[in-house]
Structure formats: C-alpha cells, structure tokens
Structure 1
C-alpha cells in the first residue's frame, strides 16, 4: 500500500473529482501548515509514486493522473468511482416511479459504502466538504429506503436495521419518524413513544428546540392509535416481475466481494450449492448477498431472467426436526397451497414446483440436515428448474451437491469490518495508527469471525476500545451484552 502522502495526493484528486487541482492547492491539501523543504519537487515525486502504484494495480493506469496547464487531473469515468456511482444510483432512484425498482436502486447505492467516506482523511480540511456532502446523501438515501420499505410492509426489519443509525444520528427527525412508524407497526408502541421522548429530550438539551410538526403529529397519532398508521396491505406482485422475500440490508458484507462472485458462478454451474462453516462465520450473510445478486440478474451473461418465479429465503432455524414439517414450510414461504392432492407433503410440493424456475435459499440446515437432504434430492431429480442454495454446519452429502467452505475473514478485512461497524455506532471513531494494533488484536481474539466482530464493534461506544480489548477474556459475556 502506498505511503500516507501518496494516498493523500490521491484523496485530494478524488475530492476534486472531475476538475484539475493546481500544484499549490495539492501541496496545501496534503502537507497543510508543514510543507516539505522543496514542495514542488516533493509533490512531483509523490505523483510519480502514485502513478507507479496505479500502474502496478492495473498496467497502463499510470496515465489516469494527467498534468494539464491548470494542474493535476484524475482522469477516470464516474462509474469507476464509488462516490460518483452512489450519487448516480440515488439520482436514478429519485426519477424512478415504481417502488420496488426504487428499493433496488437505493439498496445497490448503499451497498457501495464499505466504511466512512475518505476514511483515512475524513478529518482533513480538503475532504471536509466532500465528506459532509456524501454523508448527507447517504443518510438521505437511508431515509428514502426506510420509508419505501415501510410502504411495502417491511416494518419489523426496518425497525431493527435503522436502530444503530438512529443512535449515531439521534437528532435527525426524518430518521426518527421512520423508526417510530416502524416500531409502532411492529407492535412496539411503547418503544415508538420512547423514541419520541428521547428525541424531544435531546433537542431540548442540545439545541433548545422542540420537535418539528411532522414528528409531533406522528407522536400524537401513535398515542391514540390512529387508523391511518396501520401497515399497508401487502402489494400484489406483478406477474412480469420475479418476487422475492430476501431482506434488504442497509450495509454490505465486508471482505466478501470475491466470495460473492464465486458463489454466483457456482449457482450458474450447479443446481445445489451448500455453504458450510462454523456458527458466526457469515454463511447466511454471504448466501443472502449472492442470492440478492442473482435476484437482480447482475451476471452479464444473463440476457434472460434465470429465475422468473423468484428467489426465496426459507428460514429453518425455528423448524422442528421431522420431514413432515419441512415441505409445508417451503410451500408456505412460496405462498403455495400444498394441502390438496395425493401423496405426502413432499410429493405435493414437488408437483407444484415441477414447472417453475426459481432459487431457494435454505438457511440453517444443520439441525434438519437429513430432512433437507431428502427434499433437495427430490427437487434435483423431479423439478429441473429449481436451484438450491443451502447454509449448514455440515454438508447435505447427496449427489449433485457442491460444497463451499466459508472461512473467517482475512485480517485486513476483519479490521475493516470492525472499523466500519464501530464508526456506525460510535460517532467519532476512526481507524488510525494509534488504535489499529488494538483493533487487529481484538479481531484476532475473535478468530476473525464476522458475527463476533460486529457484536464487539457495537460495544465500542459503551466500553471504549481499550476496555473492550481488556474484557475479551470473558468474550461470551461481553458480546452477549451487546445485543
């Protein structure tokens, strides 16, 4: 990785993306009040090192940094820069009129965020305007997405997923309004009222203000259980559009891009792929990300939708062992009536799926692995259009199964995940030279398991980094306390 000043030059060029930056401005941005002895020559050296680093990453890329009469210019297309791609997707979402299409665009936009904007330079003066603009766009996109998902009836998921963002940005009234509405529709009226009281107290203490008219009106409506707050009726799915029940995540899995791409390739080549690994390693999240990519048809070879009958998640964690329960659970997830016709529940389900083309994600199979193996073998034999993606702590061990082991994160990815989640829940947290070794040690103590890392990162706000590291001798108690 290039040294700090070289990355500073790249950050400064990105902060002024699309416009040339004079040498004097670059020197001021990168070195501030402590310029080097020969600023012009030192800048040229750092630019040369940046070009060399770009060329090593991709031959020919050194030409991306051009020198013009007006200064240095980073010559890259908008779709090569995550910030520009994010803004473009958000703009497309606002022009889109179909709600589910808007949800997809906003979800794709937010998935580009893998941590804070300009993470290593977020406190530098030259990135401040860009960081502020991008963070505001991100929060607005989150609010847009939350409101859309509430309109689609996803109140329980929204209530859980935006809790950390509300904690990080407690004075954003629109975000609070979405949270209150989601909590109320999820049957948590007391929590919705408590959220309002928390907002009211913070506004009074920190700004000397009262809540705005919109959130106050919502509070009053919750108090009297106003009929207009009821959850909307489930929308009727368009026959021309695949349906899915996959949850929409507001953050992307960190360090799994290559694994997701590999999973999509395996699903193209095989009808049954099983992700295996220990608890907490991220099997479910990886499977959901791969399934979501296939639901969107991200693969360039897919001129025709490979799953016109949808991509469906069947959650098995709460399913009691016994083969008579599995087939009805799958049918219920798909909205199929399987209580009519001869034969067993599995016979009827197979008959219903015989002519369908869909992807089933069977999650948490380990406690019903024999039952899942029987169902999978039957569908592979008799329902040629059905593909299966399973997560389990052990393989199904049937013919046609491709087993993919999910391993813990590499150290760099584990550290990035911890930093991203800690920054989301603990305002002001940033990874730097003073804490990077502590974060790496925490991730190592947690065996680089994503679930453990996310739980630990959520405790930074309450304990602080050093105290968290000190308490990990009893990590099960510490992580359980994080919720």
Structure 2
C-alpha cells in the first residue's frame, strides 16, 4: 500500500485506488499519517477535525471515522499497515508506505552526495525527491495542523530545490536552468537565493545585461514591497557581475535550512522564561567566547494549551543570529508513548 501525501491525498493498494471520500474522515487519516507510527491523542484529533468548539457528538463521530478507516485499510493489513487503538488515542502503523518518507530519504541521499563532492549523484537524488511532489502537502485536506505542516514542508521542499539547483550549476547546466529559475522567482519573488542562482545562470550563459536586469528586478521588488535592500550575498554577486569577476565555478555550497515557524508579532509576557532560555543558548553579551561549546538541550514543560510552542519559537527567533548554519523545527506532538 502507498500513501501519497505530497499533493492531494491518495491511497493505492497494488495499483488499485482506495477511496476515502468524507472530508472529516480524510482529515483524521491525514493527521494520523503526519504522525505515522506514533500515538495521536483523541482530543487532538477532535480539535483538528472540528476546531476549538466541537459538537457534543464529536467523540462518537471520531470513533465512527476510525471504524470506517479500519475497514478501508483491512485489505492491506498483511503489508503491515494497521490502525490501532492506543489510549488515549490512536496509532497508524505505516512501514515506509508514505511518499513523504521516500522524499526525505532521497533528499538525505542528495545531501550526502553533495557533501562528498558528487554533484551528479546529488542532482539525481534531489530530482527524484522533488519529482514526488504533485502539489502542496495534503492539498485537499483541511485542518490547522495540516496547514502548519504544509507551510513547514514547503520550506523543506524549497530548500531541497535550492540545493539541487546549486549542484546543477556546479555541473555547468546554467543555460537549461534559466527558464526554470525565471519561473521560480516569479512564484517566490522574495527568495533571494533563487534570484542569486538566476543571476549566476544568466552570467554564465554570457548574458551579463540580463543578469544585472534580474538584480534590478529583485531590488525594486524588495524595496517597494518590504522596504528593505537585498542581502549581502546578492549585493556581492551584483558587484562581481558588474566588474566581470563573478566566479565561473564557485564551490558547491549547501543552502542553509531556516525552518522556524513565524514568530508571533504580538508575543507578550513570559519575559522571565524567555530570558532563561535565551540565556542558556546565547548569553546576553553575545561574545563568541561566551557561547556554550556543548549542545544545550532546553526543555519547556507544562499542561497542554499554555503556550509552550509559542514560547519556544519566540525564544528560537531571539537566538537565530548565534546559529546561522541551521535553524530546524520538528513537530513532536503525539510522540509521547
């Protein structure tokens, strides 16, 4: 059995589609798939399906949805797919049946190849990973958590795409990449890494004027829409193209994952908690010699709904300057067995 999540939700068993038509039932399945092989609290499922004000019959309806899902999946039980009751909720056992798993594995293989100096192998793995996407994650499923995961995994997809483009540029494939890059910067006009790759591809194709025009386009967009100037990397590339000294074959450099969810613009209170977390990770002096050398693990505990995740994300944004190489976010809700 295969669960296709990278686009509209599709289920297939030996080439035969398995239909799950009811919208709320599909939401239950989607949440269980996002937490595959981990228990999901029934209250969490109720909240994802009905929101903050579920009807009195929500628990009974959830049990009915789970019963129907079990019936739909029963034919593939010998393959290891099983929807189990795991108090206080449910667990969907899915052994390597999600296209999301294949995407993550192929992307990881691409990372290994890129780090070992094999851009050809990296490109193959990255393109295989990217080819699995048919649209936004679970495009036809609603739910707050689904929307959050959709945004997070879109950022992951774009990071993998940027790494793939970096590898292909290192292989000298600048001319065929120009049309793809033009399409990408139209879809993501504020993503400076894509503009830099477009400028470099144009420069290497002997189109210096077009490369400079691309810089003018992105600068105008950033200034007019956001009121900011392009970043240092884009400025440096612009100067190099102007002087005709842009590196023809720069070393392959991985895109930096920056996967934190957006910070709350109106975050207030909990200053003491924020100060303690920030102090553990990045001392107030900011001096390099004062930074901790060992990995610091900070745990925030408390009852559900008190704002632990918001506090953690807010603190993470505060210390971002001290961790320029990578900022990751992993949703562990339900991983408490």
Instruction: Give the TM-score, by structure 2 length.
Output: 0.63
**Bigger mean CA deviation after superposition, 30-39 or 129-138:** 30-39
Match of 1:53 among 58, 63, 72: 72
* 1:86 equivalenced with 2:106 (yes/no): no
Change (3 A) 1:94 1:151: same
Aligned residues of 1:166 and 1:175 also touching (Cα < 8 A) = yes
Aligned-CA RMSD value: 2.0
Tell me what 2:277 maps to. none
Change (3 A) 1:116 1:207: same
Q: Deviations over 1:204-247 (max 9, x none)?
A: 22222111111111111112222x43368xxxxxxxxxxxxxxx
Q: Unaligned 5+ residue runs, structure 2?
A: 1-18, 251-337
Tell me what 2:275 maps to. none
Map 1:355-374 → 2, pairs under 5 A: none
Aligned residue for 1:65, secondary structure, equals strand
Q: Deviations over 1:297-355 (max 9, x none)?
A: xxxxxxxxxxxxxxxxxxxxxxxxxxxxxxxxxxxxxxxxxxxxxxxxxxxxxxxxxxx
What is the alpha-carbon distance in structure 2 between the residues aligned to residue 164 and residue 34 of structure 1?
Answer: 42
Aligned residues of 1:55 and 1:62 also touching (Cα < 8 A) = no
What is the alpha-carbon distance in structure 2 between the residues aligned to residue 55 and residue 162 of structure 1?
Answer: 45
Tell me what 1:166 maps to. 185
What is the alpha-carbon distance in structure 2 between the residues aligned to residue 167 and residue 54 of structure 1?
Answer: 41
* 1:66 equivalenced with 2:87 (yes/no): no
Match of 1:120 among 132, 137, 140: 140
Match of 2:161 among 135, 139, 142: 142
What is the alpha-carbon distance in structure 2 between the residues aligned to residue 62 and residue 46 of structure 1?
Answer: 20
Aligned residues of 2:181 and 2:198 also touching (Cα < 8 A) = yes
Change (3 A) 1:29 1:61: farther
Tell me what 2:248 maps to. 230
Aligned residue for 2:39, secondary structure, equals coil
CA displacement at 1:54 relative to structure 2: 2.4
Q: Deviations over 1:83-106 (max 9, x none)?
A: 122122212221221221111111
Q: Deviations over 1:437-459 (max 9, x none)?
A: xxxxxxxxxxxxxxxxxxxxxxx
Tell me what 2:125 maps to. 105
CA displacement at 1:7 relative to structure 2: 0.6
What is the alpha-carbon distance in structure 2 between the residues aligned to residue 100 and residue 68 of structure 1?
Answer: 45
Map 1:379-418 → 2, pairs under 5 A: none
- Between the two structures, name the one with larger relative contact order (CA 8 Å, sep ≥ 6): 2
Aligned residue for 1:229, secondary structure, equals coil
What is the alpha-carbon distance in structure 2 between the residues aligned to residue 146 and residue 7 of structure 1?
Answer: 35
Larger gyration radius, structure 1 or structure 2: 1
Q: Unaligned 5+ residue runs, structure 1?
A: 233-483
Map 1:19-38 → 2, pairs under 5 A: 19-33=38-52, 35-38=54-57
What is the alpha-carbon distance in structure 1 between the residues aligned to residue 101 and residue 225 of structure 2?
Answer: 34
